[in-house]
Structure 1
């Protein structure tokens, strides 16, 4: 039986944040496993910024009617991949065939991502979407397959599954294909110290406390019930789809639900980040359609129900399409 013990290295090389859950390389179901593609799911659990992976225990241990593991990886609210199994898992059931994926034993044929959102009153977060694209592109490249080998469970299921909900799977595959096509994309970084590109009120103080900072320093402020946004100004070269990444130093005293505002073609979108964890690295906030021109594009707001200091360090924009 094949295993995918290489999964952690491949995902990290693609810029995906990874948590290895226990002895995941040896956690698997008996039976064949020779994957040729990736299958997308949603967990049906309600995740949030403060409870980012409610289905993690079930995906590892299973249910009374279905023993675990239930996927190869769970994708949490913040887009972090939790690796659960390097071998066969009970996630796909019988495949009825979809695209190049044949009919047969789906657990043999596919690597499964369980994306942790409920799929009824909640859709995939931008961070989950972006991380799932990166991970899928990296794994299909490793398997020597193209983007058509990525499918949704509702496409292969013989029992009427609806997951993953609220996603156009053809668009998602196209986004995977774009990431697999290579090439050099336009990208720019704005730090809190970038001249003429960062504005904030005097309430945003300067700190050099954390060694996880980007550049020489970063800004911090207390949370309040008013916006007081620290803005990053970016000269976007053309209207298109851009990935927005943020960098912050992590600390237990920093905010657990920091609001990042992204000024898109259809108005401001808000993404919440837990700045207590995964600091000192680029974290994907999601992909957004941004208008061309030089303007405030990404902001950090102090208006949050979270606790702890709000941090504004650096952001990065990369054109996707």
Structure 2
């Protein structure tokens, strides 16, 4: 049993893993409060949106629709691997699912076949909607898959889940009968199918390493979103292993004044 992370800790958990995070509007206070519980939380649930385009997908997940009010998740993961946080607290993403699955998630054991819908999942899972048509043809870019892995791993790391295997990360289809998400090929049409077992395997590998780890052993690269209290020195120390590399970050981002960084600013990071 775990109480949900604070909004700030939720963001930091992803940013620490190298995920680019964008907060949409008043996401911190946008939720379905008063329509059921939020917490205790036990895991992370992955969905696909059945939509195209980042802007309209994010807006739909933020506001919902006539029959299902938003937010429809906590974060929307776009094709470029950016997580757009649209709400926090209870969200209409999981619906009713199988209590046997919930028990397996809590125990971090093998997931049973889903065959009933008798348990509220909106109160028990963090939810990510990933932009994909879900037609088994729309491909999953590697940047998007890696963001799913990193965002999930960050939350597991914060909660100290995943010690006995990352079954704290599940797909919607593993929770509710009749669901198919997420599905589709990785990389290109006709490529290897995305599976939750493959996602969990990559999450498990990440959790063997520090949050700053990148596959292949590279140091740096990617982007970093500035948080309160950050300096270029502290960012370089945390992400590149040496505060003295702050000048490289400044040069790469065209910063004439290295002290003039602001909360929420996205910085490119140099590679090793």
Please give the alpha-carbon distance, in whole angstroms, between the structure 2 residues aligned to 1:24 and 1:216.
30
Please give the alpha-carbon distance, in whole angstroms, between the structure 2 residues aligned to 1:126 and 1:213.
30
Matched, 1:118 2:133: yes
On the 8 A contact 2:249/2:268 being kept in 1, the answer is no
Deviation string, structure 1 residues 111-166 (Cα, Å, up to 9, x no partner): 000001112131222111111111100101112211111000011113x1110012
Q: Could you tell me how far 1:217 is from its partner in structure 2?
A: 7.0
In structure 1, the partner of 2:234 is: none
The equivalent position to 1:11 in structure 2, one of 11, 14, 18, is: 14
In structure 2, the partner of 1:101 is: 105
In structure 2, the partner of 1:43 is: 49
Task: Please identify which structure carries the higher helix content.
Answer: 2
- Listed as ranges, the matches of 1:190-201 within 5 Å are none
The equivalent position to 1:157 in structure 2, one of 173, 176, 179, is: 176
- Matched positions, count: 203
Matched, 1:22 2:25: yes
Higher relative contact order (CA 8 A, sep 6+): 2
The equivalent position to 1:86 in structure 2, one of 64, 88, 97, is: 88
TM superposition score normalised by structure 2: 0.66
Deviation string, structure 1 residues 41-61 (Cα, Å, up to 9, x no partner): 0001123xxxx3431111011
TM superposition score normalised by structure 1: 0.57
Structure 2 vs 1, CA of residues 130 and 69 (structure 1 numbering), >3 Å: closer, same or farther? same
In structure 1, the partner of 2:218 is: 187
In structure 1, the partner of 2:152 is: 136
Residue ranges of structure 2 left out of the alignment (5+ in a row) = 107-117, 185-193, 222-245, 255-264
On the 8 A contact 1:16/1:134 being kept in 2, the answer is yes
Deviation string, structure 1 residues 177-231 (Cα, Å, up to 9, x no partner): 10011267722579xxxxxxxxxxxxxxxxxxxxx9957978xxxxxxxxxxxxx
Task: Please identify which structure carries the higher strand content.
Answer: 1
On the 8 A contact 2:218/2:271 being kept in 1, the answer is no
